[in-house]
């Protein structure tokens, strides 16, 4: 199709080494940091058309296009590409896997140069600012001093907000979709239960499960199943499954019976093949502590902000976007917010509710 990027490849670059380690907010140092990233489109001669894409909790660098032999395109392929809302015919897009991840960027399963074995539970605690520090290093490596825009949904939007407050003059436009500037107690509670499922799995082994040749499959599966419920809406679940049941076999009152149960089982099982339990722990915790306006009380970014929320999103409902709007507005920052109707809950940022892509397209123009 003419709106497809076609085949793309993931690149890797070392952005920290012994002579220039990555110093984290905690004070810990990482002497070797490798980052996986992809680029789409062409960087202009003036180097002024770059857009940085920040991914959500379980995303990766593969935001658009197709990998060889893949069954599906990148996770934001409906938004990024020739003629799409993030138009690669005129924009140069950079998408990187987060620090602490498990898709090519240094994380808990990477080898610690000091010991010669995987970091495992010794991988240092991360802060939202640490994710951004790595993004900034990648831009420096690519020779891009200023961004036309930074775009992120959910945790990705939180990274964009942190970045704009850290470097008030580096980002012209910021698109935050279904994002938050401070989690509610309920949000922290959901993440706490997900982490407990992993930590209390007998196969967790204090985080050294790789050395035992196992993974905490049960805990990670339960964490994903529960989290997935918060990403969708009650309406979408009801419309898709209702009270339909699996009518085959005998009485299943103590086993999965309803179709929605089988759906969640599938979501949990498929997650096991692409994500690591320690990465899940390390990437969820920075969200709990995230409070960028408190951390940067005097920052007044020159960035223009476009906020989008969805009326069925109960994980990061519109009140989260309104808090960002009000906090930025009080500092004199230009910010626009729109709540859109969507039946798909928090996952709407990955889909195409009416009006969503048009808002992004016009803002990036």
Q: Which residues are catalytic?
A: 154, 313, 346
| CA–CA distances in Å: residue 268 to residues 56, 222, 225, 351 | 18, 7, 5, 21
d(CA 317, CA 178): 7
Contact (Cβ atoms closer than 8 angstroms) between residue 353 and residue 344: yes
Contacts of 174 (CB under 8 A, 6+ apart): 149, 150, 151, 160, 161, 164, 301, 303, 304, 305, 306
The token pair at 223 is 């964490």
The answer to whether 47 is a known ligand-binding residue is no
d(CA 122, CA 112): 9
Q: Is 102 exposed, middle or buried (0-12, 13-18, 19+ CB in 10 A)?
A: buried
Question: What count of Cα atoms within 13 Å lies in the side-chain half-sphere of residue 168?
Answer: 14
The dihedral of CA 55, 58, 61, 65: what is its sign? negative
Q: 258 has which bridge partners?
A: 245
The answer to whether 136 is a known ligand-binding residue is no
d(CA 335, CA 155): 19
Task: Tell me the binding residues.
Answer: 224, 347
Point out the annotated binding site for substrate.
224, 347
């Amino acid at each position: 199709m003419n709106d497809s990027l076609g085949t793309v490849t993931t690149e890797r670059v070392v952005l920290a080494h012994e002579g220039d380690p990555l110093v984290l907010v905690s004070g810990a140092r990482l002497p070797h940091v490798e980052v996986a990233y992809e680029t789409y489109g062409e960087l202009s001669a003036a180097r002024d058309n770059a857009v940085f894409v920040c991914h959500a909790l379980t995303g990766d660098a593969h935001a658009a296009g197709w990998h060889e032999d893949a069954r599906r395109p990148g996770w934001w392929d409906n938004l990024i590409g020739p003629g799409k809302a993030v138009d690669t015919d005129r924009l140069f897009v950079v998408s990187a896997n987060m620090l602490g991840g498990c898709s090519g960027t240094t994380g808990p399963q990477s080898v610690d140069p000091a010991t010669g074995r995987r970091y495992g539970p010794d991988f240092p605690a991360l802060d939202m600012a640490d994710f951004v520090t790595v993004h900034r290093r990648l831009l420096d490596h690519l020779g891009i001093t200023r961004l036309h825009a930074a775009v992120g949904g959910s945790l990705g939007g939180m990274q964009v907000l942190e970045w704009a407050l850290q470097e008030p003059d580096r980002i012209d436009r910021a698109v935050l979709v279904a994002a938050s500037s401070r989690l509610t107690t309920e949000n922290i509670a959901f993440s706490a239960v997900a982490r407990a499922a992993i930590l209390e799995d007998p196969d967790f082994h204090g985080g050294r499960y790789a050395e035992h040749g196992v993974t905490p499959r049960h805990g990670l599966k339960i964490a994903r199943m529960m989290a997935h419920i918060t990403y969708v809406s009650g309406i979408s679940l009801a419309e898709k499954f209702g009270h339909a049941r699996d009518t085959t076999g005998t009485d299943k009152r103590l086993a999965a019976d309803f179709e929605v149960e089988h759906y969640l089982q599938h979501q949990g099982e498929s997650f096991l093949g692409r994500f690591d339990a320690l990465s899940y722990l390390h990437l969820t915790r920075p969200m709990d502590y995230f409070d960028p306006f408190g951390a940067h009380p005097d920052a007044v970014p020159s960035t223009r902000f476009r906020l989008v929320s969805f009326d069925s999103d109960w994980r990061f409902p519109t009140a989260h976007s309104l808090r960002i709007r009000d906090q930025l507005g009080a500092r004199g920052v230009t910010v626009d917010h729109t709540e859109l109707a969507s039946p798909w809950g928090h996952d709407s940022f990955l889909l195409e509710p009416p009006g969503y892509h048009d808002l992004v397209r016009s803002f990036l123009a």
